[in-house]
Amino acid sequence: MDAVLAEMSGLSRNHIQQLIKQQHIQNHRGETIKQASVRVHEYETYVVNIPPLAPVELAAEDIPLDILFEDEHLIILNKPAGMVVHPAHGHQQGTLVHALLHHCSDLPGINGVERPGIVHRLDKDTSGSMVIAKSEMAHRRLTAMFAAHDLNRQYVAWCRGNPNWHARHIELAIGRHPQHRQKMAIQPQGKMAVTDAEVERQFGSFSRLRLTLHTGRTHQIRVHLAHEKLPILGDAVYARSYNPAGNIPEPARTAIRTLERQALHAELLEFAHPVTAQMLSFSAPLPDDLQRLNDALARSYR
């Protein structure tokens, strides 16, 4: 039961198990399902009742923000690696939302109490440029722009491997991994994801790629590059553990070994201002860890 309903609903298997324990799932006869191990057969119907989320009382936290641009409608910032965007299970403090509430007193009215001003996300360990809405009009229009993919979003990634192409258009659907519910995977029944990849430079058996997103699926770049046999350095989820051997010259070997997150940075963000229509372009500078990695690779492979 829990496996089938998780696959059909997009909820995690653990979430389905919790809903069964809380007696929120019934069959077509209105009988409550009490065990996750119940077998499911063809043509059976089940109703999953998802209770409303309890409101979260968020306290503003004085966390420094690297702001690239701000006006009355929006903020462009450079999110550091290690920062979660909004509160979630296990991350009830220290998120970007907590920092934004300290910076902008009027944000709570934009997009609800848990995700005020948020129109898109970056993974916890991905750094780079993000846009935050400060007004209802900006939020509504930015949401529509992201839905229509009417923005230029470019990332930089350092990967293991050398592709046999200079540029590649990757168009592969992504869905929840069938066994590992915290991961995504290439799934024919998933949502279509489109990424353009271009090789910027090769460093021996490593490559720096520029990725342009045309959709915004969860973990899209990481999943697409892993599928292309180009796992991102430092990615603990989609790349096998990698310890560079002695044939990798210094200082590249040390830089790779000491990398504590995936080498992925949301560098460029370009779009028309949602209120003034002025074209905006922002480039988030590389954080120190990725700059060190890039410099070490360049020195090792001149």
Cα distance between residue 81 and residue 123, in whole Å: 8
CA 149: distance to chain centroid?
16
The catalytically annotated residue of 2, 62, 66, 123 is: 123
Give the pTM.
Answer: 0.81
Q: Give the pLDDT confidence score for residue 203 in this predicted structure.
A: 98
CA atoms within 13 A on the CB side of 19: 23
What tens digit of pLDDT does each residue of 165-209 get?
Answer: 999 999 999 999 988 878 999 999 999 999 999 999 999 999 999
Question: Which residues lie below 8 Å from residue 293, measured CB to CB, with a gap of 6+?
Answer: 158, 233, 255, 256, 259, 263
Which whole number is the average pLDDT over 7-34?
A: 86
What tens digit of pLDDT does each residue of 64-99 get?
Answer: 999 999 999 999 999 999 999 988 777 788 999 999
Correct CATH for 67-148 of 3.30.2350.10, 3.20.20.70, 3.40.605.10, 3.40.50.280 = 3.30.2350.10
What tens digit of pLDDT does each residue of 270-292 get?
Answer: 999 999 999 999 999 999 999 99
What is the dotted CATH code of the domain comprising 153-281? 3.30.2350.10
Cα distance between residue 269 and residue 19, in whole Å: 39
Give 227's pLDDT tier (boundaries 50, 70, 90).
very high
Q: Give the pLDDT confidence score for residue 121 in this predicted structure.
A: 93
By DSSP bridging, strand 264-272 and strand 127-133 are: parallel
**Separation in Å, CA 151 to CA 214, 225, 240:** 8, 21, 32
Topology of the domain comprising 2-48: 3.10.290
Q: Where in the chain is the domain with CATH 3.10.290?
A: 2-48
Query: Is 96 within 8 Å of 79 (Cβ atoms)?
Result: yes
Our answer to whether residue 196 is catalytic in this structure is no
List, as one string, the DSSP characters of 274-294.
TTT--EEEEEPPPPHHHHHHH
54 pLDDT higher than 60: no
Q: Where in the chain is the domain with CATH 3.30.2350.10?
A: 67-148, 153-281
26 pLDDT higher than 70: yes
